[in-house]
Amino acid sequence: MAIFKGAGVAIVTPFTENMEVDYEKLGEIIEYQIANGTDSIIICGTTGEASTLSHEEHLECIKYTVEKVNKRIPVIAGTGSNSTETAIYLSKEAESYGADGLLLVTPYYNKATQKGLIAHFTAVANSVNLPIILYNVPGRTGCNILPQTLATLVKEVDNIVGVKEASGNIAQIAEIMQLTGGNIDLYSGCDEMIVPVLSLGGSGVISVLSNIAPKQTHDIVEKYLEGDTKGSLSLQLEYLPVINALFCEVNPIPIKKAMNLMGFGVGPLRMPLTEMEPANADRLWKALKDSGLDKIN
């Protein structure tokens, strides 16, 4: 059984002006997400700027989110690292807090071989009892989980149950489903590819767009899974200009800008991320207005 089906939000981490984690604001946006139909909260992922959080902040964000959500929807904790030992530590801690699942990104910078990926993910998975979604985003990590590697892991490691596929390679995603016999929970890691991934047997999306359009993103998935493929496709295409604007600079620069423009007040970015270029911010604002997302709905 999938940890969730539908649209899970890769939630931002709000900061105060002096760059501390703003837990009060995090609580507010969690409540907003739940009220608007989000199917899962993914905390401390790429969009949550996990790479600039200290280990203490990282774990406190997970703990706070688990307690705030209080089992109303699943909480999936990002606990991946390029150090296997660190990933095991973060994963064990997240499990102790009551997280419902883990999201493990491929080791970045040191770029493991496929053999190394199998060893790394197996070691982390064996250290906990939680279900695990692997996160394949080679554009950010320089490391691609090949379909055969993923099929091996899903077959041999009981609690590796899913993948967030953000390679953008639809042929690779199709091969994953072929080699696993569909025995994997497949989530789109690209908001512009929700419908194509669902057409290959996907269970949903782990979404950046959901930060500002939780109901709409949920509906894209729900309509498809209920058989309304035309309705699902219509929504996918309707919000494509917003999605494209949200990725015209590296994530999460645009989504934080969008949320601040809309009035969420999620604060600044931590360096080395910097404020959005004015021309791109204008493009984003136009896309938000054209889609009716220029204020909190």
Residue pLDDT tens, the chain, 297 long: 789 999 999 999 999 999 999 999 999 999 999 999 999 999 999 999 999 999 999 999 999 999 999 999 999 999 999 999 999 999 999 999 999 999 999 999 998 999 999 999 999 999 999 999 999 999 999 999 999 999 999 999 999 999 999 999 999 999 999 999 999 999 999 999 999 999 999 999 999 999 999 999 999 999 999 999 999 999 999 999 999 999 999 999 999 999 999 999 999 999 999 999 999 999 999 999 999 998 887
How many whole angstroms separate alpha carbon 94 and alpha carbon 282?
A: 39
Which of left, alpha, beta for 230 (phi over 0: left; psi -120 to 50: alpha)?
Answer: alpha
Around Cβ 75, how many Cβ atoms within 10 Å?
A: 28
Joined tokens for residue 111: 């770029």
Torsion, CA 10, CA 16, CA 20, CA 21, rounded to 10: -30
How many whole angstroms separate alpha carbon 252 and alpha carbon 230?
A: 30
How many whole angstroms separate alpha carbon 192 and alpha carbon 168?
A: 9
As assigned by CATH, the class of the 6-228 domain is: alpha beta
Which residues are designated catalytic?
135, 164
Contact call for residues 192 and 170 (beta carbons, < 8 A): no
Q: Where are the domains of the chain?
A: 6-228
Its pTM stands at 0.97
Joined tokens for residue 69: 């959500």
Task: Provide the CA 282 distance to its chain's centre, in angstroms.
Answer: 25
How many whole angstroms separate alpha carbon 27 and alpha carbon 41?
A: 12
The C-alpha R_g of the chain, in whole angstroms, comes to 18
How many whole angstroms separate alpha carbon 214 and alpha carbon 268?
A: 22
Around Cβ 42, how many Cβ atoms within 10 Å?
A: 29
